[in-house]
Structure 1
Amino acid sequence: MADPKPTKIEKALDFKAKYQTLMNEARDEAIASIQGQIGTLKELGFTFELVESGSRFSAKAPKAGEKKQRTCKICGKTGHNARTCPQRPNA
C-alpha cells in the first residue's frame, strides 16, 4: 500500500519549518559577516555594537506600587489630573 498523501496543512508546516531553517542560516551568515566588518572598524578605532531589534533600551520602568504624583490644574490637589477632576466644569 502506498503512503498516504500529505495534507495541505502538513505541507504548509513542512514549508514553514524549511523556511525557518533557511532564515536562521541566512541570519547566522549575515551576523558572521557583520561581526567581521565590525572587527575591522574596531581596528581602525571606531566602536560599534550589533544589537538585535526589539531589544531597545528603554527608560527605567516605575517600581510596583509606585504611582506618579499628579497635580490637578483645576483644583490644585494631588492624586488626579484635570481630565479626571471631580470639580471639572461640564463642557
Structure 2
Amino acid sequence: MNFFEHQDKAHQNTQQLIGLFALSIAIMIIAIYIATLFLFRMAPHIWWHPGLFLYMAGITIIAIIASIYKIFRLRAGRKAIALLCCS
C-alpha cells in the first residue's frame, strides 16, 4: 500500500467516525428527550412535543460543546489544571 492509498483509507475512516459521532449525538438527544417525557409523565399521552425536543436538543448540544471546550483547555497539561484550581 502506498502513501495515497493510506491517505484515502484515512479519509474514509475519518468520514465514518464523523458520521458515527453525529449518529451518537442524535441517539443521545432522542434518549434524553424520551427520558424527559417519562420524567414529566407526558409519555403515554404525548410522544411528540416540538418545543421540549428543541429545548432538550439545545441543552445536550451545549453540554457536548462545553465538554469538548474543557477537554481542549485541559490538554495544556499541569499548568492549565493548576491555574483552574487556583483561580
Under a length normalisation based on structure 2, what TM-score does the superposition of the two structures give?
0.41
Larger Rg: 1
Under a length normalisation based on structure 1, what TM-score does the superposition of the two structures give?
0.39
Q: Answer 1 or 2: higher relative contact order, Cα 8 Å, separation at least 6.
A: 2
